[in-house]
Amino acid sequence: MTLPSSSSVVTVGAGLFADALRAQAVDVHEVAWHPPADESDARALARVSADPRRATANAEAAARMLATGARLVDVRPAGEVLGLGREDFLHAGPPIDWARASGPMRGALLGAVLLEGLADDAGAAEALLASGSGYTLDPCHHHRAVGPMAGVVTASMWVFELEDPATGARAACTLNEGLGKVLRYGAYGPEVLDRLRWMSAVLGPALQSAVRRAGGVDVTAIIAQMLQMGDEGHNRNRAGTSLFLRAVVPDLVESGLPASDVAAVVRFVNSNDHFFLNLTMPACKLSCDAARGLPGSTVVTAMARNGTDFGLQVSGTGDRWFTAPAEVPDGLYLGAYGPDDANPDIGDSAITETGGIGGFALAAAPAIVAFVGGTVDDALGTTRRMYEITLAENPAYQIPVLGFRGTPTAIDVTRVLRTGVLPQITTGIAGRVAGTGQVGAGLVLPPQACFSAALSALAESVPGLP
């Protein structure tokens, strides 16, 4: 082929052709486009598509997700709710050990050891953790729990306990600590531990009194409302936090606690518009757990990151994790921090996207672009794109600006690989050095490799095929 010297060439897909043209000094415009699947994915897709169980199993998975409600029924210590001893630590994401743990995960674990009194200082705490013995370390997801960012949960921390009224299934999540230097972002200084102690001594018991007096709080109803009030339930929770306060304050006032404690509790929640995130997360966990373990289903039941690996779980493959290195989010940074300060993606909070809100409901929260970056059109486009990779629309969670369309729910691994559209996650960004805290917030995608690995496992599980 001979090109006239004035040609420009538009190339799509494999960069090799573009590189070859550039080497010949041809003006090349590469168009961003991802092939829906590589050859191995294509073979697995064909096999999974032929699985006779798939359609029914996926319909059942989506139906169960939509049918799940979430009610906050109690607030109790994690030790009691999750059966943790002082030396048992839970963490966000797929399984990891100290050796592979990132800075913020290490920082949070150091704080946890100090909080539970297993060591007197950071040096001793680090020695204990590095020894690999004298404690257990397990994903929250293995205990019907979820934790934002590092997601470290210990016995003395209090947790929200949510229940699906239809099935009695439960899920738990810690109470949100606030912003800046906090344990979940890997900070573990004295002010972090003092705050955690106050949360266990005052905040948890106060919320327990209020929630019990109120006879529980309908978290599903608040999520439905917050989506009509500019929140997406992951990185914007201002309306959710406001509505939660409205729901508990009257009973909190009448709980018999000293007015100074009641006021301190309200001021603490008031100072942190992300407080309600720790309720959207377990609500979505309940919904996703309802879809677990359906043979043949290609529906995603968990996306979670430990700061080193991104992990995926799929209904048809049960509790197996498919992992790949976590990406660094793209976002806006606080103060003088920049991308070099950022740890890779971390936290169980992508359960919100797995449950159909968060990044999937970005169109409901156009104001969020001031916090995570991008434009309002991007926000609207993101939700529209998520309908391409999901099986259902949640009639309980409507997005007014899209004509009250339900949020895109039940991510289908085969749709992700066919379209090349990856789930959009909104996220906080932790400093990569232990002790730093939050450095920003932004947008991140899962590694496609997790989806390919899950698809391959699903393909192997198809019965009666050679």
Which CB sits closer to its own copies, 128 or 207? Answer: 207
Question: Binding residue for its own copies (CB under 8 A) from 38, 254, 319, 460?
Answer: 254
In a 10 Å sphere around its CB, with 0-12 CB exposed, 13-18 middle and 19+ buried, how is residue 43 labelled?
middle
Q: How far is the CB of 404 from its own copies (least distance, A)?
A: 7
Helix (H, G, I), strand (E, B) or coil at 279: helix
Distance between CA atoms of residues 200 and 177, nearest Å? 11
Alpha-helical runs (H) found in 99-181? 103-115, 122-131
CA separation, residue 179 to residues 113, 217, 279 (Å): 21, 24, 16
Q: 314 vs 399, which CB is nearer to its own copies?
A: 399
Cβ proximity to its own copies, 1 vs 259, nearer residue: 259
| 27, 367, 384, 465: which one binds its own copies (CB under 8 A) | 367
Least CB distance to its own copies at residue 8 (A): 32
Which of 67, 132, 270, 338 contacts its own copies by CB under 8 A?
270
CA 441, CA 181: separation in Å to the nearest integer? 14
Q: Is residue 78 a contact point for its own copies (CB under 8 A)?
A: no
Q: Which residues partner with 76 through β-bridges?
A: 159
Q: Does residue 267 interact with its own copies by CB under 8 A?
A: yes
What CA–CA distances, in Å, run from 125 to 87, 102, 207, 252, 330?
12, 16, 31, 37, 33
Nearest distance, CB of residue 367 and its own copies, angstroms:
4
Does residue 332 belong to the site contacting its own copies (CB under 8 A)? no
Binding mask 431-450 toward its own copies (x if CB under 8 A, else -) reads --------------------
Q: Cα-flanking dihedrals φ and ψ of residue 452, to 5°? A: -65, -45
Residues in CB range of 168: below 8 A, 6 or more apart:
none
Site for its own copies in 368-407 (CB under 8 A): 369-370, 375-376, 400-404
Tokens of 370: 């001031």
Binding mask 347-366 for its own copies (x = CB under 8 A): -------------------x
Binding mask 221-250 for its own copies (x = CB under 8 A): ----x--xxxx------xx--xx-xx--xx
Contacts with its own copies by CB under 8 A: the residue count is: 35
Task: Quote the tokens at residue 324.
Answer: 């790949």
What are 278's two structure tokens? 């720790």
Beta bridge partner(s), residue 31 = 12
Q: Nearer to its own copies by C-beta: 126 or 218?
A: 218
The full DSSP string for 194-232 is HHHHHIIIIIHHHHHHHHHHHT-EEHHHHHHHHTTTT--
Residue 329 CB, nearest approach to its own copies (Å) = 21
Which residues lie near its own copies (CB under 8 A)?
225, 228-231, 238-239, 242-243, 245-246, 249-251, 253-254, 256, 259-260, 262-263, 266-267, 270, 366-367, 369-370, 375-376, 400-404
